[in-house]
Amino acid sequence: MQRSTIVYCGLAIALLSTGIIADSKADQPKWVLAIHGGAGFIPENVADEQRQAYEDGIRKSMETGVRLLEDGRPAIDVVVEVVAILEDNPIFNAGKGAVFTAAGGHELDASLMEGHTLQTGAVAGVTRIKNPIRAARAVMDHTRHVLLTADGADHFALSSGCEQVPQSYFYTSDLFDELNAILKERGQPVLTEPAYGLPVEAKAAIGGRKPGNTVGCVVLDEQGHLAAGTSTGGLTAKMAGRVGDTPIVGAGTYADSVCAVSGTGVGEQYIRYTIARKVAWLVESGQSVEKAAAHCLNDLLNPNEGGIIAVTANGDVTTQWNTTSMPRAIADSSGRREVAIWGRE
């Protein structure tokens, strides 16, 4: 070791022991979790019942994530379980509660990525998998590939043990009404029933939801590893076969050893600007994660186009959006627990 290095190290140790410079590692939370339930347009005067439903949904997934992280589970496992809980909740546009395509069906997209290995998996346009995030995990764990689509993805997911559901499982009546409103606006014929017929349980479906509501999660675990995952039904009345940013690694989801990112919003824009990768790259270049996300939302995307959650290997975390609302949560090992729908950071 060179003499100057020894002097520098000695000085740093002396300053640390006197508390003159802070040991940033010691201040850093051991683990951090952030969740989003989609950038969207939930009005602040939404009925109490609806507000409660969003908050409860986000809180439930946060509590599961916290428990898993306290048990020392790896970031990638936490991402899968948190996203799967949100997929099972019909208030979110992922899994049950996925929006309709213009053809009256459901095509679901999901992806996930582990930062320190750069392992990643995604599915696009799956139609009969209860939890697309588990299908994405299976692609990551059991194939040489990164992204499987449509029938091939459905078949592979089923052969990997993912749970199968009929298309009618994804049905919610308000989203069917929303599809017809859009078709009408376009001057296209409205549909009397979904492509798979009207499910018996149709009348029991929840009402009053707005578009958005894609779900995502980013995690820094106790080992210092990062992971991100995102799942969606896409945009209401999308063309059959349309693929958004959610299953596109680097657009809607990204994680490396520096930063993990999940995006939500107008997928085409997230693909054009490779938003998730851009946030990570800006952080790698020395920008704070707050500034990196703000740059993407304010300088690249148009107003009302989306939201971003991101966490860094240092435990810095941000949740930002340029729409009306983004149900979200942040939790960490120091006891931070926040659930919110509106308001700025």
Residues found near ligand ASP in the complex (CB under 6 A) = 38, 212, 214, 232, 234-235, 244-246, 252, 264-267
Of residues 11 and 181, the one with the C-beta less far from ligand ASP = 181
The active-site residue out of 120, 214, 274, 323 is 214
Rounded Cα distance, 85 and 290, in Å: 27
d(Cα 25, Cα 325) in Å, to the nearest integer? Answer: 33
Closer of 69 and 153 to ligand ASP (Cβ):
153
The 8-class DSSP code of residue 299 comes to I
Nearest distance in Å: CB 101, ligand ASP: 11
Nearest in space to 125 (alpha carbons), one of 145, 97, 155: 155
Q: How many CB atoms lie within 10 A of CB 1?
A: 6
Smallest distance, Å, CB 268 to ligand ASP? Answer: 7
Assess whether 246 carries a catalytic annotation.
Answer: no
Three-state DSSP class for 110?
Answer: strand
Residues 6+ apart with CB under 8 A from 329: 33, 34, 35, 58, 59, 61, 62, 337, 338, 339, 340
Question: Quick one: which H or E segment has residue 140?
Answer: helix 132-142
| Strand 306-312 relative to strand 259-265, pairing | antiparallel
Of the pair 176, 270, the CB lying nearest ligand ASP is at 270
User: In angstroms, what is the minimal distance from the CB of 307 to ligand ASP?
Assistant: 8
Closest C-alpha to 227, from 219, 235, 238:
219
Q: How far is the CB of 318 from ligand ASP (least distance, A)?
A: 17
Nearer Cβ to ligand ASP, position 276 or 283?
A: 276
Strands (E) located in the chain: 32-36, 108-114, 120-126, 147-149, 215-220, 226-232, 253-255, 259-265, 306-312, 317-321, 328-332, 337-340
- What is the rounded end-to-end Cα distance, in angstroms, of the chain? 45
Smallest distance from ligand ASP to CB 334, Å? 30
Q: How far is the CB of 228 from ligand ASP (least distance, A)?
A: 14
Q: Which residues contact 191 (CB under 8 A, 6 or more apart)?
A: 104, 176, 179, 180, 183
Q: Which CB sits closer to ligand ASP, 199 or 307?
A: 307
Output 214 or 318, the one with its CB closest to ligand ASP.
Answer: 214
Catalytic residue annotation: 214
